[in-house]
Structure 1
Amino acid sequence: MFAVLRAPSQVLFGAGMAEAAGPVAATHGRRVLLITDPVIASTPGFGTVEVSLRAAGLDVAVSTDAEVDVPSAAVDAAVALGRETQPDAIVAVGGGSVIDLAKVTALLLAHGGAPSDYYAVNSVPGPVLPLIALPTTAGTGSEATPVAVITDPASDMKIGVASSHLIPRHAICDPRLTLGAPPVVTAHSGIDALSHAIEGYMAAEADDPDAELVLGRPQVGKNAISDSLALTAAGHIAANLERAVQDGDDLEARTGMLYGSLLAGIAFGNSGVSTAHALQFAVGAATHTSHGLGTGLLLPYVMEFNRPARPDDLAELARVMRSPGSAVDHVHALGQRIGLPGSLADIGIERQELRGMAEASFKFKRLVDNNPRPLDEDALEAILDAAWHGDPARLSRERSDDRGGAEGMSALTSQSVRS
């Protein structure tokens, strides 16, 4: 048995936990940088956090410059305010982009340089400023992960900075903070959380894992602890996502979603994700659609592609999600019920663009190499083509029609995470 667990040193979960932000932050010093975005800044939940911080006697500097996909201008503004106010800790209240901005800000305030200095996996040299994360969406799991996704100004592509040092010190998860999320945000962030759980569960397995592998990378592939967390997460998300989209004031559904998102974040924070995320980087750059829309739309196609390598895992996912049929069909139908587009064609992608997207996605080796079946550009293009047609079964039909084809489309063995 092989297992790894890296997670926040403290997780506080439950309705009303946002009021703990002040006492928790006070354990790190007297000055706090509070990071959010302009929309969240006007919500009652943000007010609860700010009141808690000030009631604890803290000096609070507020940054509301966070933007979706964390552009460089947002990073520059938050870092400048941090250098001016010299915080002892950073508090992030918001969705994944807000928390990712806080992670990069905590990194640059501690170690200097530019975000691009840390694009290489595990290149963060040591601990960053203490970070307290309060998610307002049930989706990214960023409150518990070692990854910050930002927009690279040179390529205009999203790229991940990955290091165990980026895991927030404290995750305070209060489902009341998620009550204001609109249906579209709830749907896209929620299906992204499901993709974290499923891709984390179906991640590649290491061959003979050893200390060098574990210490050399923040995410180590499929393991016993991540499997347990991912399955529990998938069950909670599948049971609550549609309810949360339909009724944003359903606190029980919001609680189930936030719990599932947290567990999925811890799971994939240790195992890693793979192909749906690699493909989404190219799809998102081409269409400027949300991260969750892309991963959620692509997820059932990736699951179908991986079926030959992991039939037992798909059966177990079907069981925990209480699927009436296959896990692939369940996830695909769930996406349609919560309003995801039916195909890549529906978001404006032309079929002739698919090859270029496949080639761009193949460059995300950290993700591609974590897939349980070997991948090449042809395999990635086949997944995209099925998604362009809106038909996951197209991949299984191609397998039947092309027995003995190229290795990327026919190999049934698992891919090692060791690169």
Structure 2
Amino acid sequence: MIIGIIGSGAMGAGIAQVVATAGHTVRLLDQNAEALQRASHSIEANLRKLAEKGKLTTEAANATRARLHPTNDIQQFTDCALVIEAVIEDLMVKQQLFRQLEGIVSVDCVLASNTSSLSITSIAAACQRPERFIGIHFFNPAPVMQLVEVIPAIQTRSGLAAEIRNLVESWGKLPVLAKDTPGFIVNRVARPFYGEAIRILEEGFADIATIDWALTELGGFRMGPFALMDFIGHDVNYRVTESVFTAFFYDPRYKPSFTQKRLFEAGYYGRKTGRGFYSYAPEAVPPVPNRDEALGNVIVSRVLALLINEAADALALNVASRDDLELAMTKGVNYPKGLLAWADELGIADVLDTLDHLYAEYHEDRYRASPLLRRMVRERQHFFM
């Protein structure tokens, strides 16, 4: 199978490496010659490191490199069986791209977007044959991260999602099926990890170092929310938050914060600019957290309750299956446990009690409990047990 990748940024180059390593001929397209050259060098360097570490034989690395064909000519996509775009997160740009692409590829070519938050249905609507359109959302860095979200549009033909899921599995990835709703699974369910941490900070309940310490040392998360936002970049993380909030018709549960918006406006994007919530200047002294376990446990309880609530609501609204929700959060954002299994472990009644106490305190819809949690407590059910 010949696969076309449009966009040679970090994500496009990563996807190209994945599918070329899996044995496919890859045409990697970018109009920017310098970007295309950087992508080629990056992929070659990655393959060389994998060979040096013994994770890939020298022969396999050379064969993968030979299957990769960088190009700035979209006309070379005529023989592609699948094309995945990984360009700027702009609906009009993506729609125009696929309008152009349909005049080049065969009628059987599957078209896909790697968008992280835009409507797959809206992008598909620009196509003359929307039934062949689907979302294939990788996580960065694509060669490393196992999870891939597969998102059919309303127009997607029956059976295509299953075909793509099988194809993604053949690439050595873990696909999950998501409904075409804002943020899909991961970028929807994970919003409280950032949003509630910022809210705790804004209230002066704890500082960034203490909140990050609590969620890593006591909660078991690999990175704290502030360190993670700085790592992702506020140019990316804030835009996703704003996009999800708008797409959900301004539901207060997804409301962005002025604190992060100001960092975004200032260009303090995090590690990539040397400053975000933390300073990354060479002389910067890392802030010291308050290692009060009682305080830390309250922070963890509050953030975790909102995460579990979001996962429960996603399940109730058939955004994804129970098992795909768990897989998405453990493999997509490396949570220490699936949120639904975590709810069983903590006790769903205790989680609901935390949410109700927050709602009683604030009277804000961001703390409204999912009806599914109430029903499960009432009927004494569990997600897994």
Q: Give TM class, smaller chain.
A: 0.3 to 0.5
Structure possessing the higher relative contact order (Cα contacts under 8 Å, 6 or more residues apart): 1
Q: Structure 2 length normalisation: TM-score?
A: 0.35
Q: Report which of the two structures shows the higher radius of gyration computed on alpha carbons.
A: 2
Q: Structure 1 length normalisation: TM-score?
A: 0.33
